Structure formats: structure tokens, C-alpha cells
Amino acid sequence: MSMAHRPLAPFVFAFLLLVGLSAFAACSGAGGSASPSLPARPIPGDNPVPLAVDKRAPTPMPGVSPSPSPTASSLCFSSAPPTPGPVTPTAAPVRLDSYNIDPSKVFVAGISSGGFFAVDAHVAHSRTFKGAAIYAGGVYYCAQASVALALADCGGETTPNCQASYASTLAQSEAYLDLQSRLGAIDNESNLRGQPVYLWSGTRDEVVNPSEMVDLKSEYQHYGTNVTFDNGFAANHGWESPDGSVPCGTATDPYMIVCYQNGQPYDSEKTWLTLFFGKLHARNNGALHGRLLNFDQTEFGASASTGMDTNGYIFVPHSCAEQNRCGVVMAFHGCRQIQSAIQTKWIQQAGIDEWADTNNFVVVYPYAITSTVNPTNPQGCWDWWGYDNDPNYAVKSGVQMSIIYRMVQRIDPSAPN
């Protein structure tokens, strides 16, 4: 149902934002690093006390997106919303090509909104995606088609003690997953058994509470996946990479953090890529031999009305371009990491292409965009709560889900329907 037919929804949402933004303002400006000199500050515990929230059946509120605060610094609330609209590439986007893909080596990864979306994609297409790497995401269908629950229960709202707001939706998530599996709206949940899953959660994350990732760990274990939980770093919200430009304990644009272990930059990508592909050849720290290609997303259905940019990117190692057998990693950015906000820093600092170049797998970087009306998505998030008026956003028939999967089928023509 549209907002025009829900006269109370704007007032409920405005009140929710007012409470959340006031709380987050008390925490803004916090930062730091993972070094021993880190100043003392509140650390989210393993079992924070959840806020009291209305647990009645959720009311879908598509077409709504968190709005920015003038003082806070996080993926959901920043100094100003990113500049709306797509970025025109220097060269015309090319047609996405097909490659010789090993169907046992097709994976998904994502951060924040892209992490929630990657979980939805992994579960919906578990026959195709053989594993997932999730940074600061949450359980499947976490928001239950409600922006109110998305903010208060899953991620985006911060309490006065600088903890991300949280209330478990694990039981509802698993019930919905089981139902959709029985109905055939997603691939059978039995496909998840035995698949590798990597989870990253910083102990100082002020946007997605660490307890949300504990729930995700429990959910994945419930369905029999092999989970590696990387949750020992005093990290704030962001994608961790040795190429990151933001200190480990700081939440700010472009939300690409670097953490240190034994005095050296930590390489979280090496951890999960090893889970996916086995023993890796050395990372290419020099000029890459592969090519980063700008491709047309519109032929798959991407448009302003679906919350997606006109173009995305794919990194193709030389061996894959020569049609040797290769794998695939589909990587989803977080809110505010769209091209109009940070250009291609998401790709440049993700730390994936450097491994792909020497280990025979392509990396696909689809892009969302900002929009202010129809859909309302001012931070350029992926749709993990139904903002594009799509109640089926978490199942195979979802709007963005379908667009993304058509890309997968182009890259790997053998991918199942």
C-alpha cells in the first residue's frame, strides 16, 4: 500500500526518526582505532538490553528510507545525503558478458544494507549461491517489510549509550524462511547445509548491533552451514580490508575500515575467500592484470524506479576473459557507498579484486542509487525492507532480487532458473 493511503504512517515514521536521531546525535563524533591507545568509550556487549518495541504484526511501509542527521556519522545517518542520481561513466557501459563459470564456486558478499540484501539473496537462491560473506548484516527478512522494525530491531537506530538498537527477529525470520521454502518462493532451505559462511561483526558497531550478527550466526547454524564468525576486533561499522581508508574504530565515509592484527593490516577477504576457493595463490599487490569493466544494468531491469543505477562494474581476470574455468563473487555495497557519493572507492578499497586477479574468479559490483520519491531511498541502500513497494523483496520474485539474478544468469548461462 502506498504512503498516500496510509495517513498515520508519516507521523509514526517521523516520531521514530526523531527519537533515533536524537539518540544518535549524543554519540556523533566518536571514533578511534584498534590500537592499544584507543580512548575509553562504551562498547556494545554480547547481550545488550533491547529497546522496548511494538512487536505486533508488522505493517509494511514501503517507499520509506532512513533520513540523515546533521551531526551523526554512520551508514544510515550522516552529515548530508549523497548527491542524488547516477554517475555518468567516462566510457559507455558495455554489455555484460558470459563466462565459463564453475557452478560450485558462485558466492555472494555484502556490507550493511548490502549485507542484509546478500543474506536475502543467498537464502532465496541457495541452489545457486554456494556460500556468503556478510559484514554487519542480519537475519533473513529481518525487517519484515517494515522500516520501523528495520531501524529499531535490525540496524540504523542508535541509543543514547552508543549501542545500535536491537530486538531479535530470529524466530520470525526462521518461520518466514521455512514457509517460503515450503511454498517454493525461495530455493529449498536444505541447499544451505554444508555451505561456507563468513560473518564479520565489530564489537564497537554503532549501526548494526553485534547481537544481530549473533542471531545471524544462530540462524545459519540452524540450517547447517559452516560458519566462521570474525568478531574479535574493536571495529565500528564498515567493510574491513587492508586497503581501507578509515581507522578500525571509526564510522565515517566511505565506511571502508582497516583493522590491525599483530601490527599488520588484517585481511578479512583472505579468510573468507579461502573458505570459498581453498588454498589461494598470493594476492596481487601491484598492477592488476585483469580488467574492471563498466556494464549496463538497465537491460536487466535496473532503473530509478527500482532503486538501481544505470551501470555496475565487473572485474574480470585475464584467465576468465580467456574462458578458463572461473568462480564468481557478487559483492553488494552498503548505504552511502554508491557511485554518486564515493565514486568507485567501494571497489578500490574492498580488497577482493587483488585476490581475484590471481585466483580465477570474477567479481560483480552491482550498484543502487539514491532517490527521494518512488522509491524513497536517500542513502542509496539495497532494498531489504521493501522500499520499492515490493512485498516480495526477500524471495526470488522480488524486484531487485530478480534483476540481480538475471545478471548471474548472464554471467553463468548454466545457472538454474
Q: Which of 65, 73, 112, 241 is catalytic?
A: 112
Distance linking the first and last C-alpha atoms of the chain: 29
Which pLDDT score is estimated for 376? Answer: 84
- Residue-wise pLDDT for 370-402, tens only, equals 988 888 889 999 999 999 889 999 999 999 999
The one catalytic residue among 187, 205, 383, 388: 205
Return the pLDDT at 26.
28
251: which 3 cell numbers? 564510522
pLDDT, position 68: 32
User: Would you call 255 exposed, middle or buried from its count of C-beta atoms within 10 A (0-12, 13-18, 19+)?
Assistant: buried
Q: 119-157 burial string, b = 16+ CB within 10 Å, else e?
A: bbbbbbbbbbbbbbbbbbbbbbbbbbbbbbbbbbbbbbb
Any idea where the domains of the chain sit in the sequence?
10-26+77-411
pLDDT classification of 351: cutoffs 50, 70, 90:
very high
> Which ranges constitute the DSSP H helices of 73-226?
113-124, 147-149, 170-183, 210-222
Q: Is the pLDDT of residue 357 over 50?
A: yes
Mean predicted confidence (pLDDT) in 124-128: 98
- Span 94-116, pLDDT tens digits: 999 999 999 999 999 999 999 99
Q: Is 222 a catalytic site residue?
A: no
How far is Cα 169 from Cα 116, in angstroms, rounded to an integer?
Answer: 13
pLDDT above 70 for 78: no
pLDDT the model gives residue 60: 29
pTM over the 0.85 mark = no
**What phi, psi does 251 have (nearest 5°)?**
-110, 105
> What distance in Å separates the CA atoms of residue 181 and residue 187, rounded to the nearest whole number?
6
Confidence of residue 252 (pLDDT cuts 50, 70, 90): very high
pLDDT at 333: 98
| From 28, 74, 201, 237, the catalytic residue | 237
What one-letter code names the amino acid at 412?
D
> What Cα–Cα distance (Å) separates residue 238 from each residue in 106, 162, 345, 359?
24, 16, 13, 25
Taking only the tens place, the pLDDT of each residue in 156-181 is 888 777 889 999 999 999 999 999 99
The answer, yes or no, to whether residue 59 has pLDDT greater than 80, is no
Q: What is the pLDDT of residue 90?
A: 62
3-state DSSP of 267-322:
CHHHHHHHHHHCCCCCCCCCCCCCEEEEEECHHHCCCHHHCECCEEEEEECHHHHC
Catalytic (active site) residue 390: no
pLDDT at 7 over 50: no
Is the omega angle on the peptide bond into residue 254 within 30 degrees of 0, that is, cis? yes
